[in-house]
Amino acid sequence: MVKTSAWFLVFLLLTAACLDEPDCFTLNNDLIAISFKKLADSSTDTVEFTRIGIDEPPLIVSEDTVSRITLAVNYFKNETTFRFETEDTSRILRLGYISQVQFVSEDCGERFVLSRLRVLEHSFDSVRLLSDVPTRDGAGTQIEIFQ
């Protein structure tokens, strides 16, 4: 019993020592998860894109066959336009949001908190917003795109 209590006390002290060093890498909630669905029956759709990227600054994010993709928005602005290109079409998805700066600490600096996500413009058959808050880890789905 004493040995178990001693190990627990050592573990507790080590854990408390780690709290002084913050994890500054995952502070911003700038990830949008998008799933692709079939318009006819809302089942999962797999789409082969030749290029996926953002317009400003021009950046190619991926060339892939996807049914779900996680993309980062530009938290220095209040909107981001994504371009999805296949062999025969080019479609856009323009998202708006509120980006607010919060000071975290001297070690970490500041973080950007995004909220009120909305679809400003799109050229898909249908787009549905499921959540108006981007995430830090790409969990969940914020947008469904139907084609």
Question: pTM for the complete prediction?
Answer: 0.76
Phi, psi of 71 (to 5 degrees): -125, 150
Interval 9-38 mean pLDDT: 68
pLDDT tens-place string over residues 94-146: 999 999 888 888 888 788 888 999 999 999 999 999 999 898 887 889 999 99
CA distance 69 to 59: 16
Name the 3-class secondary structure at 2: helix
How large a percentage of the chain has pLDDT more than 70? 76
DSSP 125: S
User: Of all helices (H) and strands (E), which one includes residue 14?
Assistant: helix 2-18
Cα 147 from chain centroid?
A: 22
Domain boundaries, the chain: 24-146
Look at residue 2 and tell me whether its pLDDT is greater than 80: no
Q: How high is the pLDDT of residue 58?
A: 58
Interval 54-83 mean pLDDT: 82
Do the bridges between strand 143-146 and strand 31-37 make them parallel or antiparallel, or are there none, so unpaired? parallel
Look at residue 92 and tell me whether its pLDDT is greater than 70: yes
